[in-house]
Structure 1
């Protein structure tokens, strides 16, 4: 029997594909993005919610969580728990510089016919190759690569954690995410498999949607170098989102198109006051 991927991971793989006010988004929000203390800690909330940064749906599983320190070494999170509506973990920042918390997944979604019956699969590459029946017909496969991140710094910012892996959709900021200020221009660069993501759609949504009643989304596209320059009008926590390929309009009477590959990127950043 084909193994099934659990629902939280599927939600993480797909949530970045929708940019409307009612999408279920996965997110991680640190208690602070800049810490100056001899005993530097941050606490990070992690959830999947309908209301941005609200704890209203289900926790984000931490199985694939990786925390990277300023020197590129992995840092073991402390006090990790998963509750009914959110997960929480702490990070002790023993070294100065920027840390990154990331949840990365690469999955396979497929449909096929077996003995005339329609079947579906969601799982990883290894399981798919092992368990797909040899006599499966009309096989349609989509491979997804999703990346969810947030950043926090101790005493000073650094850039080691932004070194690209060359796999999937990635953010390599020109302006450091922990140096964002309201009213000031910032520049970011997006990459797809290590190469500039030209004309890549980018979305930035401020938290507090429930109190505004409007999404307040900033949307732009990258230039030929994969770069975006933007100005954030107000301070606060923001949700960064980008996905590839661009969604295609549905065709009446036909099932949704399944591209061979989908990539999503999402992150939480803080914009400080002027």
Structure 2
């Protein structure tokens, strides 16, 4: 009979180390509104403040690029350096593209001979084989956490479209109501958060504008979703914004007893 933890972990794909979640993960496109056949370059990293390249790159093995017609695309010129990863994408189709890092995994902690053990070790990724080998099925004070993470940005060539924005129904997701690449400082924007495809009420949402390095304060913008999972934003200035939200609940597959669903997105606000 196979290891019970292995059976569960085989249902989960590769995940970044959970320690990395202490930093803000982000994707930064060179532009979000372009013409058909133009190119966009995207940086991917994690840092103390959004868009400041001072910590770690994001690995691109969990990258998903969805074209306006719903098909999956492969990035060009992918590279990972010391502080960031980057790739290029040609927008051959008209419409809106979803660019996302999507990962799921397990982490565990337990007591062994009076010492606290953790897996995966800091700085190492989740793997089903490693989880089954290193985490005892029965251990003192064993706690297993399931993690779901989605880091996104959106770019549009020509006229916006909705084909790539269809929710997957897994984990925490952002659903645009008033658009995602036609955001302007003089217009309010509405979004909805979904958890496993259903609106999530009472969720705290945080936004941070680019340029924290040059301000005396972070100046976070905070919102809370309503009964239908929606919230409204008015933009104080043009530029890039990092949006994030987190849900912790007990809706986790065995052997996990708790789930942590993390979402972040980069949005660009323009001057009308």
- Bin the TM-score by the shorter chain: 0.7 to 0.9
Shift of 1:130: 6.1
Matched residue, 1:182 = 185
- Kindly report which structure 2 residues correspond to 1:197-236, keeping only aligned pairs within 5 A, or say none: 197-236=200-239
Q: Deviations over 1:92-113 (max 9, x none)?
A: 1111001111111111121123
1:167 and 2:170 aligned: yes
Match of 1:20 in 2: none
Q: Which runs of 4+ in 1 moved over 6 A?
A: none
Contact 1:106 1:124 in 2 (8 A): no
Match of 1:97 in 2: 95
Structure 2 counterpart of 1:271:
269
The 3 A distance-change label for structure 1 pair 158 and 126 is: farther
1:123-162, aligned counterparts within 5 Å? 123-124=126-127, 127-129=130-132, 131-162=134-165
Work out the CA distance in 2 between the residues paired with 1:193 and 1:7: 18
What is the aligned length? Answer: 251
Deviation per CA, 1:202-228: give whole Å up to 9, x if none: 111100011122112110100000000
Distance 1:239 1:159, change over 3 A: same
CA drift of 1:147 comes to: 0.5
Corresponding residue of 1:73: 71
The root-mean-square deviation of aligned C-alpha atoms, in Å, is: 2.5
TM-score (norm 2): 0.85
Q: Report SS of the residue matched to 2:181.
A: helix
Gaps of at least 5 residues in structure 1 are: 16-23, 247-257
Cα drift, residue 155 of structure 1 = 0.9
- How far did residue 29 of structure 1 move? 0.7
Equivalents in 2 of 1:112, 1:50: separation in Å?
29
State yes or no: 1:244 paired with 2:241: no
Structure 1: distance between partners of 2:161 and 2:32:
13
Equivalent residue, structure 2, for 1:251: none
Seen in structure 2, the aligned counterparts of structure 1 residues 125 and 176 have a Cα distance that, compared at 3 Å, is farther
Determine the structure 2 residue equivalent to 1:36.
35
The answer on 1:54 being equivalent to 2:52 is: yes
Q: How far apart are the structure 2 equivalents of 1:133 and 1:203?
A: 37
The residue aligned with 1:252 is none
8 Å CA contact 1:69–1:75 kept in 2: the answer is: yes
- Whether contact under 8 Å (1:114, 1:135) holds in the other structure is no
| Residue 254 of structure 1: aligned partner | none
**How far apart, CA to CA, are the structure 1 residues paired with 2:180 and 2:19?**
25
TM-score under structure 1 normalisation? 0.84
Deviations 1:132-186 (A, max 9, x none): 3244232111111111001001111111222111111100110211011103111
Q: CA contact under 8 A between 1:162 and 1:171: conserved in structure 2?
A: no
Distance in 1 separating the partners of 2:16 and 2:187? 36
Residues 30-59 of structure 1, C-alpha deviation per residue, up to 9 Å, x if partnerless? Answer: 11101025x311000111122321222221
Indicate the SS of the match to 2:41: strand
Secondary structure (helix, strand or coil) at the match of 2:159 reads coil
More deviation, 197-206/123-132: 123-132
